[in-house]
Amino acid sequence: MPEPFKIKSVETMTLPNAEERKKAIEEAGFNTFLLKSNDCYVDLLTDSGTNAMSDKQWAGLMVGDEAYAGSKNFYHLQETVKEYFGFKHIIPTHQGRGAENILSSLTIKDGDWVPGNMYFTTTRFHQERNGANFRDVICDAAHDPSREDVLFKGNVDLKKFQDLIDEVGADKIPYICLAVTVNLAGGQPVSMQNIKEVSELAHKNGILVMYDATRCVENAYFIKDLEEGYADVSIKDIVHEMFSYGDGCTMSGKKDCITNIGGFLCVNDDDLYLRATAMVVQFEGMPSYGGLAGRDMEAMAIGIKEAMNYDYISHRVNQIRYLGEKLAAGGVPMVKPYGGHAIFLDAKQFLPHLDQEEFPAQALASAIYVESGVRTMERGIISAGRDAVTGENHKPKLETVRLTIPRRVYTYAHLDYVADTIIDLYEKRDTIKGLEWVYEPSCLRFFTGRFKQK
């Protein structure tokens, strides 16, 4: 089906010439995060905050109530989150990591363990900053890009979760971080069945279930599309059921709330809520705005409702499948099945002549930019960082380049351009050189690290 929207306002885009692109990537230290947005053509760096808001959301900005406390937009947001997510308390934050900071600080003690279905960069950073050890409990198939037969690759392996409980004791595990969908596994969903089982095992042991709810609407679409018994259930009801098994969530509004900024923390526990309100005033702002303007909260409340619309979410996920199928027809290796927000190129298979220590995904993201002006992102050894204790590089099995599709921004014609130029590059892949560090930051190194060609 075509786009379920028509275009009311446009932004001109230009393609720098080959010479300009080469110069730009050199100046950016072969790090696509350091490119200027003006030097990029189709920008698939991230789906975070890059969404196109609707006419109703823009209208919502005009009814922003910029009171310091008790803004009417906060009450609108609170009511909306209660209705759609079902959690008892909500605290707005400037974005997702603001919520991660509060949750991690309030629940983790030094030496604790936090299991998760794979990790997310900022999420794990806050867990480790507060003294926790992270344990990956995602199913093995999630680490294998070729396991196309597994539909819910985001699922937790219950045995791995049980093993951790046996090994360290449940009192050392404040919560399990359950991501829906799993970004770094390739935008892979978690089934309702698995959510129920995780919740049962966690609660039996007195462990909280805290969702990373960032892409919960995409997860709900996969449940509706793929899991038995959900074909006739609405996206709204699926989201509500998913969260009914847990105790709270952190949310990046910049993804599935279809806004440009914002986030929130939800908890059911009254005491944890009180402690979170005491902390949010130190780092974000009053509990009724948490670092956001009234208008931002209004746009987020409207965005949450729009995201639950079936035509919207079905078009979004199917745009990603469309790009995946075009690339597959050109033989390009990818993580399969295709995820909910992005296509992940398998950089190890794309560039078999490079060792993982030569940063194949970083090199490939740079080469794609030079070839086409399309901006993508490394999700591999650079993003994984170093072990907090040993200082060794984490060496993830998945070495990927992420082509992330912003919500409601690009058309199928843009995706055709992306696919055609990447297929051209694939045909001359052996000309792509590896990279080495010029500057390695001590944390979250993928954002600002610099490289040179070997």
Q: Does 123 bind ligand PLP (CB under 6 A)?
A: yes
CA dihedral sign of residues 295, 309, 3, 6: negative
**Which CB, 50 or 191, lies closer to ligand PLP?**
50
3-state helix, strand, coil in the chain (%, to 5): 45, 15, 40
DSSP codes, 189-229:
---HHHHHHHHHHHHHTT-EEEEE-TTHHHHHHHHHHHSTT
Coil, strand, or helix at residue 322?
Answer: helix
- Using CB under 6 A as the binding rule, the residues of this chain from 319 to 378 that contact ligand PLP are none
The CA distances from residue 385 to 101, 166, 410, in Å, are 19, 28, 31
Token representation of residue 370: 């030079």
- Using CB under 6 A as the binding rule, the residues of this chain from 411 to 430 that contact ligand PLP are none
Instruction: Select from 2-10, 248-256, 303-311, 399-407 the region that touches ligand PLP (CB under 6 A).
Output: 248-256
Instruction: Select from 151-159, 252-260, 264-272, 280-288 the region that touches ligand PLP (CB under 6 A).
Output: 252-260
Strand order in the sheet with 208-212: 89-93, 263-267, 248-252, 208-212, 175-179, 113-116, 133-136
- How far apart are the C-alpha atoms of 179 and 213, rounded to whole Å? 6
Coil, strand, or helix at residue 303?
Answer: helix
List 135, 255, 336, 402, catalytic entry: 255
**Which CB, 50 or 372, lies closer to ligand PLP?**
50
Name which position in 45, 137, 164, 179 contacts ligand PLP (CB under 6 A). 179
Q: Does 95 bind ligand PLP (CB under 6 A)?
A: yes
List 121, 122, 123, 404, catalytic entry: 121
* Active-site annotation holds for 215: no
219, 62 in Cβ contact below 8 A? no
List 30, 120, 322, 344, catalytic entry: 120
Q: Does 101 bind ligand PLP (CB under 6 A)?
A: no
Closest separation in Å from C-beta 429 to ligand PLP: 28
Name which position in 21, 76, 97, 445 contacts ligand PLP (CB under 6 A). 97
List 47, 212, 247, 256, catalytic entry: 212
- How far apart are the C-alpha atoms of 140 and 135, rounded to whole Å? 13
**Which CB, 103 or 368, lies closer to ligand PLP?**
103
Instruction: Select from 35-43, 68-76, 92-100, 356-364 the region that touches ligand PLP (CB under 6 A).
Output: 92-100
Count residues contacting ligand PLP (CB under 6 A)?
A: 15
Location of structure tokens 């650079």:
382
Token representation of residue 217: 């609407």
The number of CA neighbours under 13 Å toward the Cβ of 133 is 11
**Which CB, 320 or 351, lies closer to ligand PLP?**
320
Q: Does 124 bind ligand PLP (CB under 6 A)?
A: no
Beta bridge partners of 426: none
- How far apart are the C-alpha atoms of 258 and 304, rounded to whole Å? 7
**Which CB, 227 or 256, lies closer to ligand PLP?**
256
Name which position in 154, 263, 303, 449 contacts ligand PLP (CB under 6 A). 263
CA neighbor of 434 nearest in space, from 334, 356, 344, 345: 356
- How far apart are the C-alpha atoms of 364 and 101, rounded to whole Å? 32
**Which CB, 255 or 407, lies closer to ligand PLP?**
255
Name which position in 84, 120, 175, 322 contacts ligand PLP (CB under 6 A). 120
* Active-site annotation holds for 68: yes
47, 404 in Cβ contact below 8 A? yes
Name which position in 183, 199, 319, 372 contacts ligand PLP (CB under 6 A). 183
| Contacts for 334 with CB less than 8 Å, ≥ 6 apart | 145, 324, 327, 328, 343, 344, 345, 346
Name which position in 21, 76, 224, 254 contacts ligand PLP (CB under 6 A). 254
326, 426 in Cβ contact below 8 A? no
Name which position in 104, 127, 252, 366 contacts ligand PLP (CB under 6 A). 252
Name which position in 107, 214, 260, 400 contacts ligand PLP (CB under 6 A). 214
Name which position in 92, 96, 287, 340 contacts ligand PLP (CB under 6 A). 96
Q: Does 212 bind ligand PLP (CB under 6 A)?
A: yes
Q: Does 404 bind ligand PLP (CB under 6 A)?
A: no
Q: Does 48 bind ligand PLP (CB under 6 A)?
A: yes
CA dihedral sign of residues 301, 219, 201, 117: negative
* Active-site annotation holds for 407: no
* Active-site annotation holds for 212: yes
Q: Does 50 bind ligand PLP (CB under 6 A)?
A: no
Name which position in 31, 104, 122, 372 contacts ligand PLP (CB under 6 A). 122
For ligand PLP, the binding residues (CB under 6 A) are 48, 95-97, 120, 122-123, 179, 183, 212, 214, 252, 254-255, 263
Active site residues: 68, 120-121, 212, 255, 379, 446
